[in-house]
């Protein structure tokens, strides 16, 4: 098995870059470096999901971080004292900081810990915050996790800063271009784009406004991001152990990660999945884990762009392919297997039907490879319902995640059945028929034993 941490660029693409004779030694070595670094994260994700999916009586037996895994008081203190932040934001930060310190003091009294200790322990319950705080840091090209998050660039309520990756000017006019995926790709290279800070806000507002879900954990968890990670690091990922987003600057073919709201939506949704229906990150359950991140990431993108299911391009990571690459995105939910075809890193290998599912040791059992199958089922569902994807199809998927009916080792057919049941509950027999038809079209079919 080639272990790796979940990240927006699938390992099979990086491996193809590393192996292709069409690439220079510099490019191949860069891709190998990215792959090798990613391997360090497999143990983290396995540990996180092993703890989250353990039987209830065994939870807590292994050391596992609490929901507020980044110490929040340092961030809140910075916001509360920052002259660039408006008075209302400073006041809220001071209020939440005082509340957190009060909770810590009470916990420390119970545990006999010295009152001057400031660090939350892994046994402490997270304090209930009244607001979600974002912050973007400069990792200064470190690849040492111990150096993260880095130097602060921008915090909640602070005006835009000069760093390009943290904040690249104001949002572009979403209505000024056509619906061609190629046109989208070109214009987004030219026009000012949203930032790591603003795009995190877009994701948070999506979950809040559409599903009444507060931040990542429904408890207003702080959302931290580090940009400029590694030297020419061609990926972006959610680190589950230090609970933050991490962005590389990219290299010759892959980059632009902070500009892609669907990428940020994808990665932050991995964290949301930890708090809803944790799915083992292997095989079919791991592919469903990836599918859920793609599904909610694409809905965030469509909401930002004001697109209906019919108008949308259904491309994941179209911002991330550099100019000159023969392709339109990292993945296509509408047509898995068609996102790119470039001799320097091969053809998109995603199948779009379960008949092409094969057992593999690579990619944690094909978690990125086979996510295209349920991805297309969601696309077909959203198109059949019409309107905005989050109104019906997204609601079904979200309520399914909240239902308690998704086991850690969930199979495609189990997930399909759960979404059909939820569709019937929400939208009647016609809704259930739409969802069942979508799953049948991608080969995930309930067998008859009559």
Model confidence pLDDT, tens digit, residues 288-332: 999 999 999 999 999 999 999 999 999 999 988 888 889 999 999
pTM: 0.78
Indicate if the pLDDT at residue 191 is higher than 60: no
Q: Could you give the CA distance from residue 73 to residue 101 in angstroms, rounded to a whole number? A: 8
450 is written with which tokens? 């009559």
Query: What confidence category does residue 117 fall into, taking pLDDT thresholds of 50, 70 and 90?
Result: very low
Task: Clarify whether 78 is annotated catalytic.
Answer: no
Indicate if the pLDDT at residue 34 is higher than 60: yes
**Number of C-beta neighbours around residue 207 at 10 A:** 21
Stronger pLDDT, 37 or 82, i.e. the higher one: 82
Q: Is 382 exposed, middle or buried (0-12, 13-18, 19+ CB in 10 A)?
A: buried
Task: Choose from 5-19, 344-358, 424-438 the range with maximum mean pLDDT.
Answer: 424-438
| R_g of the chain computed on alpha carbons | 22
Strand partners, 226: 137, 246
Active-site residue identified among 267, 274, 290, 318: 267
Query: What confidence category does residue 37 fall into, taking pLDDT thresholds of 50, 70 and 90?
Result: low
> In terms of DSSP bridges, do strands 244-248 and 223-229 run parallel, antiparallel, or are they unpaired?
parallel
Q: Could you give the CA distance from residue 10 to residue 13 in angstroms, rounded to a whole number? A: 6
Q: Do 107 and 279 form a contact (C-beta atoms < 8 A)?
A: no
Place of tokens 């990219």: 250
Indicate if the pLDDT at residue 276 is higher than 90: yes
Question: Collapsing DSSP states into helix, strand and coil, what is residue 189?
Answer: helix
Task: Clarify whether 22 is annotated catalytic.
Answer: no
Active-site residue identified among 4, 184, 270, 368: 368
Q: What is the pLDDT of residues 328-353, one digit of tens each?
A: 999 999 999 999 999 888 899 999 99
Q: What is the pLDDT of residue 153?
A: 87
Place of tokens 């996102």: 339
Helix (H) or strand (E) holding 228: strand 223-229
For the four alpha carbons of 322, 325, 326 and 331, in that order, the dihedral sign comes to negative
Q: Can you tell me the mean pLDDT for 429-435?
A: 98
Backbone angles phi, psi at 332, to 5 degrees: -120, 125
Which residue, 306, 225, 291, is CA-closest to 438? Answer: 291
Q: Do 243 and 148 form a contact (C-beta atoms < 8 A)?
A: no
Q: Is 324 exposed, middle or buried (0-12, 13-18, 19+ CB in 10 A)?
A: exposed
Helix (H) or strand (E) holding 346: strand 346-347
**Number of C-beta neighbours around residue 33 at 10 A:** 19
Indicate if the pLDDT at residue 109 is higher than 90: no
The crossing angle, in degrees rounded to 10, of helices 261-274 and 42-52 is 40
Q: What is the pLDDT of residue 404?
A: 92
Helices marked H in 306-407 — which ranges? 363-366, 372-385, 393-402
Tell me what percent of the residues of the chain surpass a pLDDT of 70. Answer: 71
301 is written with which tokens? 């993108």
């Amino acid at each position: 098995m080639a272990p790796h941490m979940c990240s927006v660029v699938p390992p099979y693409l990086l491996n193809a870059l590393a192996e292709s004779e069409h690439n220079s030694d510099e490019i191949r070595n860069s891709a190998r470096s990215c792959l090798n670094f990613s391997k360090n994260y497999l143990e983290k994700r396995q540990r996180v999901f092993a703890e989250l999916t353990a039987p209830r009586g065994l939870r807590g037996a292994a050391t596992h971080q609490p929901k507020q895994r980044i110490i929040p008081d340092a961030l809140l203190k910075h916001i509360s004292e920052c002259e660039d932040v408006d008075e209302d934001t400073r006041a809220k930060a001071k209020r939440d900081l005082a509340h957190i310190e009060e909770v810590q003091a009470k916990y420390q009294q119970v545990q006999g810990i010295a009152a001057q200790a400031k660090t939350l322990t892994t046994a402490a319950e997270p304090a209930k915050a009244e607001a979600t705080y974002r912050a973007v840091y400069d990792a200064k090209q470190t690849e040492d996790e111990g150096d993260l998050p880095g130097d602060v660039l921008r915090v909640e309520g602070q005006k835009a800063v000069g760093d390009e990756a943290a904040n690249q000017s104001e949002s572009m006019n979403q209505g000024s271009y056509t619906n061609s995926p190629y046109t989208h790709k070109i214009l987004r290279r030219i026009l000012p784009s949203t930032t790591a800070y603003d795009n995190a806000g877009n994701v948070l507002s999506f979950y809040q406004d559409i599903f009444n879900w507060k931040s990542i954990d429904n408890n207003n968890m702080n959302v931290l991001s580090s940009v400029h990670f590694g030297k020419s690091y061609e990926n972006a990922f959610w680190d589950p152990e230090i609970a933050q987003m991490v962005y590389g600057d990219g290299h010759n073919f892959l980059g632009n990660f902070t500009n892609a709201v669907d990428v940020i939506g994808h990665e932050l949704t991995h964290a949301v999945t930890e708090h809803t229906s944790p799915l083992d990150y292997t095989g079919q359950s791991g592919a469903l884990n990836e599918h859920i991140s793609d599904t909610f990431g694409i809905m965030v993108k469509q909401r930002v762009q004001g697109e209906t299911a019919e108008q949308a391009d259904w491309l994941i990571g179209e911002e991330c392919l550099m100019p000159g690459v023969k392709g339109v995105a990292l993945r296509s939910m509408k047509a898995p297997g068609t996102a790119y075809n470039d001799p320097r890193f091969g053809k998109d290998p995603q199948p779009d039907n379960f008949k092409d599912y094969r057992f593999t040791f690579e990619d944690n059992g094909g978690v990125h490879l086979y996510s295209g199958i349920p991805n297309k089922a969601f696309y077909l569902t959203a198109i059949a319902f019409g309107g905005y994807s989050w109104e019906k199809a997204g609601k079904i998927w979200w309520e399914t995640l909240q239902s308690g009916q998704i086991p850690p080792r969930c199979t495609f057919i189990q997930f399909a059945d759960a979404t059909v049941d939820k569709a019937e509950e929400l939208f009647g027999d016609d809704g259930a028929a739409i969802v069942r038809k979508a799953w049948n079209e991608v080969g995930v079919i309930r067998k008859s034993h009559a």
